[in-house]
Amino acid sequence: MFGKRLIAGLGLAMVVGTHAHAGDARHLSVASGLPVNHVALKIFREQFQAEIEKRAAARDLGQIVWDETHAGTLSHFGGVLEAVEDDLAMFAVVSVNHETTRLPLQDMTFHAPFTTESCSVVGNAYHAIHQTLDGMTEPFAAARQTYLAAIPSDGYNFISTRKIRNAADLRGIKIGVVDRIDGWLDGVEGIPVRLLPDLLAPRIEADVLAGALLPDTEMQRLALKQQADHYTRTGFGAQVPFVITVNTRALEALPAAIREIVLETAEDFVPAAGSAYCAAGAEALETLKKQGIATAKLLKSRRVQWAESLAPLAQAWAQGNDRAGRPGSAAIAAYMEHLEAAKVKVIRDWSLPAPKGALRKMSPPPNEVSQAPAK
C-alpha cells in the first residue's frame, strides 16, 4: 500500500508539472487504452491538446508539452479511469463501454440506437446532460476526476462477407462487435460476438464471423476491406464511446490561468470533435468505396421494423440505474428532449416503454430490399 501511495504521489507531482525556472515547459500527461493511430486520439490531439498549447502561448503562459501513454502502455483497455485516479496521468480518454462498472451512466447513447448520424448533435446532447443533470457526473467524482467533454463518433454500420439488406439477413449469423451493442442484434436474432478490435479481421478471414458492426473510421483503421466486400449503412447513428476526464486534484493544483484554459478548451471541444469525427467517417467510407466495396443502406421501413423489434433497451438501462439511486430515466428523457430540440425525428422514443413484440412488425416482401448505394 505504501508503495502504491508513493507512486501515486510521484505521479501527481509529475502530471501537475512545476516550473523550476521561468520559461520551463509545463508537462501535462494523458492516458488511454486506445492505439496511437485511433481517430479519437487524433481528434484529441488536434482539438484539445493543440488548443491548450495555442491558448497558453497566446497568453504568454509558456510552452505546454504533452506526455502521452496509450495502447496499454500505462493501463489496459478498461483501466484508464483507475490510472488517472491513482495519479499516474492527469487527463484520460476513457472508453465508456469498457468502464461500465464504475461509469454506469456514461454508455447512455448505446441504449438508444436509430437516432441521428450527426456526431455533433449526439455529442452536444450528451455533453449538455452531463453539465445540467444532477447526479450525472457523480461516477467521475467517485474516481477523483472531473468530467470535461465527450468525444462523439461516426455512425455504426456493417462490413461483411455477405449482403445485409434487412434484419432477416442477420438471422443466425455471427457479427463481431467491440462495444456493448449486443442488444442491437438480439432483437433480430443475430449473434453478436464481442471481441477486441484487432481480433475482428482474423476471425472474419477464418469465416468465424460473417462481418462486424462498428464505425466506418474503425473499418478503415482495421483494414477490414481485405476480409469483407459488403458495406451496409444502417442508421444506428452516432454514439459517444469516449469521454475526457481530468484528475481533480491535479486540475486544482494548476495555476489559475492554465486551469482556465483547460476548462475553456473543454467547453469548446465537443462541437469541434463531432464535426471532425463525422468528417473522418465520411472520408473512411470514400476510401472503402475506392477500394471497391459494395455498398447498400437499409430502407426507412426496414429501420423502423428493426427498431420496433428491439427490447426496451433504454428502459432496462434506466430502471437499473434508477434502482441504484442514479438518474437513469431522467437521463434518457433529457436525451430524447435534446434530440427533439435539435429537430431530430427519432423512429423510436427510447424514453417510453415498448416491450418487445408490442409494436406492429412488418414482414417485407422478398423483393423489398435496399440496393441503393450508401451515400
Find cell 442508421 and name the residue.
Answer: 235
Domain boundaries, the chain: 2-104+119-154+240-273, 156-238+287-311
Phi-psi group of 188: left, alpha or beta (phi > 0 → left; psi -120 to 50 → alpha; rest → beta)? alpha
Per-residue pLDDT at 51: 98
Contact call for residues 83 and 70 (beta carbons, < 8 A): no
Contact call for residues 246 and 160 (beta carbons, < 8 A): no
Per-residue pLDDT at 77: 62
Does the pTM surpass 0.85? The reply is yes
SS3 159: strand
Burial class (CB in 10 A: 0-12, 13-18, 19+), 177: buried
Among 1.10.760.10, 3.30.470.10, 3.40.190.10, 3.40.50.300, name the CATH number for the domain at 156-238+287-311.
3.40.190.10
Pairing of strands 230-233, 156-160: antiparallel
For 2-104+119-154+240-273, CATH gives 3.40.190.170
pLDDT in tens, the chain (375 residues): 333 333 343 454 445 544 434 457 999 999 999 999 999 999 999 999 999 999 999 999 999 999 999 986 665 667 899 999 999 999 999 999 999 999 999 999 999 999 999 999 999 999 999 999 999 999 999 999 999 999 999 999 999 999 998 888 999 999 999 999 999 998 788 999 999 999 999 999 999 999 999 999 999 999 999 999 999 999 999 999 999 999 999 999 999 999 999 999 999 999 999 999 999 999 999 999 999 999 999 999 999 989 988 989 999 999 999 999 999 999 999 999 999 999 999 999 999 886 444 444 433 333 333 334 444
Sheet arrangement for strand 145-153? 64-69, 26-32, 91-95, 239-247, 145-153
Same fold, 2-104+119-154+240-273 and 156-238+287-311: yes
